Structure 1
Amino acid sequence: MVRVGLVAYVEKQIEQDIALGRLPRNGRLASERVMAGWYGVCRGTVREALRRLAARGLVVQHPGRQARAVALDESLTLENLGLALHAARSEEGRRLLEGFFSLKRQVLVELLADCCANASESEVGRLESVCYALWDAARWHPGERCAQLEFELLRLAAQVAARPGHLLLIQSLQRAFRGIAARLLPFMGGEALGQWARCAMHALSERDMQTLQHQLPLLLKACDARLLDQVAPRPRENVTPEPPDTEECSLAAPSADTARNDAPCVETQGTCDSVSATAQHDAAETCPRVEEHGPGGITPIDTASGNLSGGQTGSDASDPEAGLTHEPCFRSG
C-alpha cells in the first residue's frame, strides 16, 4: 500500500511539471535516477509512475532513452481533461469545457430518446424517478448530489437502452468530471438544472419524443452555458465608454436663469428615468422556463423563438418597465 501511494504521488508530481511547463522545450524528462532523488523514492517507483503516464498518453517511452512528455493537444483525452485545463489559457479552457458539456448533452438526449421509444413502463418509471430526484436536488442539495444523480441518470439510460458502448463513454465522462469537479461543483444546481430535469421527467411520462429531441437540448445547453459563465467566463474586451449625451441629460451645471426652464432630464417625482443597457431577458430567451400547471402539466414552449407561450412569471412578465433604473436628477441649487 505504501508503494502504491508513492507511485501515485510521483505520477501527480510529473503531471504538474508537464502542466506547468517546467520541462525543457523538447519535453524530455529527467532520468529515473535523478527523479528518484528529487522525490525521495526508489527508481522502481519512478519507473511505475512513468508507465502509468505512458498508458494515459501523457508520456512516450523508448527502450534505452529518457521518457518524453507528449504535448497536451496531442494527448488530450477525457481522462486528461483536468490536466489540460490546468495548462490552458482561459479561452482554450472554455473551449475544452464546452466540448465536454456538448458530448455529455448529446449522450443524454440520445439515450433518453431511445428509452422513450423502446423501454417498458417500469423502466421508464425508474428513469422518471431519477429525474425527479435530480429536480429536487437542484433546489435543496446543489453540488455533489446533483452531479451524482446526473451520472446515475446517464448510466441507467444506457442500461435500459442496452448500449454497452455508451456505458464505457459515460465512465470516461465521469472520470473527466472528477478531474474538474472542484471547479464545477460549487455552481451545480439551481433553477436551470431543475428545469431540464423536470422537462425530461414529464417528456418520459408522456412518451413525448418531440420534447426530448427539441426542447430538452435547449434547456440543457442553457444550463451548461450558465455553468460555463461561472467557471470560465468569456474574456471581456476593453471598450472605452462613450461620453454621456449632453443633450439628453447633461451633467454640466446650468445657469441660474435656465435651471428651472431647461431641466437636464425628465423628472418623475424627483427621479430621472433612464433606460439601462442591460440584457435582463437574454437568459429567459436562451433557457425557456418549464412551469408546472396542475399534476404532470408543462407549459408549452414556442420552439420557433425558444420562449414559453405563457410561462413567464415575476417582474419579467408583469412589469413592462422591469429594465428601467432610477437615478436621482442633477439640479443646480
Structure 2
Amino acid sequence: MVRVGLVAYVEQQIEQDIALGRLPRNGRLASERVMAGWYGVCRGTVREALRRLAARGLVVQHPGRQARAVALDESLTLENLGLALHAARSEEGRRLLEGFFSLKRQVLVELLADCCANASESEIGRLESVCYALWDAARWHPGERCAQLEFELLRLAAQVAARPGHLLLIQSLQRAFRGIEARLLPFMGGEVLGQWARFAMHALNERDMQALQHQLPVLLKACDARLLDQVAPRPQAQVTPEVPHLQEDPLAALASNTAQDDGPAVLPCVETRAVGDLVSDPSACPPVQPSLVEPHGDAPRFRAVPGPEPTEPQAERVGGDVPDGSSAEGVPPEPCIRS
C-alpha cells in the first residue's frame, strides 16, 4: 500500500513538471536513478510511475533510452484534461472546460432517457433515490459529496441501461474531474444543482422522456454555466469612457442643442459690443404688439401677436385702464429693449 502511494506521488510530480514546462526543450526526462534521488524513492517506484504515465499517453518509453514527454497537443485526452488546463491560456482553458461539461451532460441525458423508457420500476426507484440524495447534498453538503453523487448517478444509469461503453467513458470523465476537482469543488452545489436533480427525479417518476430530453439539458447547462463562470470567467474588455467634445463658442453650443431636423437653429437676438454688454439687435427682433384678449374669469389675459410698431396713442391705450376696470400694468415687457 505504501509503494502504491509512492508511485502515485512520483506520477503526480512528473506530471506537474510536464505541465509547468520544467523539462528541457526536447522533452527528455531525467534518468530513473536521478529521479529516484529527487523524490527519495527507489528506481522501481520511478519505473512504475513512468509506466503509468506512458499508459496515459503522457510519456513515450524506448528500451535502453530515456523516457520522453509527449507534447501537450499530442497527448490531450479526457484523463489529461487537468494537465492541459494547467498550462492553457484562460480562453483555451474555458473552451476545454466547456467541452468537458457538454460531454458529461450528453452522457447523463442519454442514459436517463434510456432508463426512463426501458428500466423496471425498482431500477427507476434506485435512480430516483440517487437524485434525491444529490438534491439534498446540494443544499447541505456542497462540494465533494455532490461530485460523488453525480458520478454515482452516471454509473448507475449506465448499468441500468446496460451500456458498458458508457461505463468506460464515465471512468474517463471521472478521471478528468479528479484532475480539476481542486478548482471545481468549492463551487459545486447550491440551488441550481439541486433544481436539475429534483427535476430529474420527478421526470423519472412520471416516465416523462420528453422532459428528460428537452428540459433537463437546459437546467444542466445553466448549472454548468454558473460553475464555468466561477472557475474560468471570460476576460472583460476594458471600456474607454467617451470624452465629450467641448465647443469654445457658447452660442454655437446652444445652436447645436436646439437645432431641429426640419428647420434652422434659432439664436437669441443679441449682439456683443466691444465692452461686452449685451444689447438688442433691432434688425433681428421682429416687433410685437400686445393685444387684449377676452378675459377668462376675473383677470384678463394677454397674448403677443406680430404686427406693426405701436404708435404713441396705442402705447397710451395699452398702459391705461382696461374697459372692465382692471389695470394693464401686468403686460409683459417686449422681449427686445431698444437702446
Structure 1 and Structure 2 fold alike (TM over 0.5): yes
Q: SS of the counterpart of 1:65?
A: coil
The one-letter code of the counterpart of 1:151 is F
Distance 2:151 2:185 in 1: 14
Could you tell which deviates more after superposition, 15-24 or 130-139? 130-139
Match of 1:210 in 2: 210
Q: Deviations along 1:280-315, whole A, 9 cap, x unmatched? A: xxxxxxxxxxxxxxxxxxxxxxxxxxxxxxxxxxxx
Distance 2:101 2:191 in 1: 18
Match of 1:192 in 2: 192
Q: SS of the counterpart of 1:185?
A: helix
Distance 2:147 2:52 in 1: 27
Residue segments in structure 2 that go unaligned for 5+ positions in a row: 247-339
Distance 2:65 2:223 in 1: 48
- CA gap 1:133/1:238 in 2 versus in 1, 3 angstroms: same
Distance 1:232 1:155 in 2: 27
Instruction: Specify which structure has the bigger relative contact order, considering alpha-carbon pairs within 8 angstroms and separated by 6 or more residues.
Output: 1
Match of 1:267 in 2: none
Match of 1:236 in 2: 236
- CA gap 1:125/1:179 in 2 versus in 1, 3 angstroms: same
Match of 1:55 in 2: 55
Distance 1:201 1:194 in 2: 11
The one-letter code of the counterpart of 2:25 is R
Residue segments in structure 1 that go unaligned for 5+ positions in a row: 247-333
Could you tell which deviates more after superposition, 63-72 or 3-12? 3-12
Residue 9 of structure 1: how far off its partner (Å): 2.7
Match of 1:313 in 2: none
Residue 5 of structure 1: how far off its partner (Å): 3.5
Does 2:159 match 1:142?
no
Residue 213 of structure 1: how far off its partner (Å): 0.8
Residue 245 of structure 1: how far off its partner (Å): 11
Match of 1:276 in 2: none
The one-letter code of the counterpart of 1:31 is S
Distance 1:240 1:189 in 2: 37
The one-letter code of the counterpart of 2:158 is A
Residue 4 of structure 1: how far off its partner (Å): 3.4
Q: SS of the counterpart of 1:115?
A: helix
Q: Deviations along 1:190-241, whole A, 9 cap, x unmatched? A: 1111111121112112211111111110110111000000011111122213
The one-letter code of the counterpart of 1:42 is C
- CA gap 1:144/1:45 in 2 versus in 1, 3 angstroms: closer
Match of 1:126 in 2: 126
1:31-46 matched pairs, under 5 angstroms? 31-46=31-46
Does 2:13 match 1:13?
yes
The one-letter code of the counterpart of 1:71 is A
- CA gap 1:62/1:129 in 2 versus in 1, 3 angstroms: same
Residue 132 of structure 1: how far off its partner (Å): 1.7
Distance 2:148 2:9 in 1: 27
Distance 2:215 2:2 in 1: 52
The one-letter code of the counterpart of 1:54 is A
Q: SS of the counterpart of 1:145?
A: helix
Higher Cα radius of gyration: 2
RMSD (Å) for aligned C-alpha atoms: 1.9
TM-score by length of 1: 0.69
The one-letter code of the counterpart of 2:218 is L
Match of 1:275 in 2: none
Q: SS of the counterpart of 2:234?
A: coil
Match of 2:106 in 1: 106
1:1-333 matched pairs, under 5 angstroms? 1-243=1-243
Residue 122 of structure 1: how far off its partner (Å): 1.9
Distance 1:197 1:245 in 2: 56
TM-score by length of 2: 0.68
Aligned length: 246
The one-letter code of the counterpart of 1:233 is P
Distance 1:124 1:3 in 2: 42
Q: Deviations along 1:27-46, whole A, 9 cap, x unmatched? A: 11122233233333333332
User: Could you tell me the percent identity over the aligned residues?
Assistant: 94
Distance 1:118 1:158 in 2: 12
- CA gap 1:208/1:12 in 2 versus in 1, 3 angstroms: same
Q: Deviations along 1:165-192, whole A, 9 cap, x unmatched? A: 1112112211221221111111111111
Residue 244 of structure 1: how far off its partner (Å): 7.9
The one-letter code of the counterpart of 1:116 is C
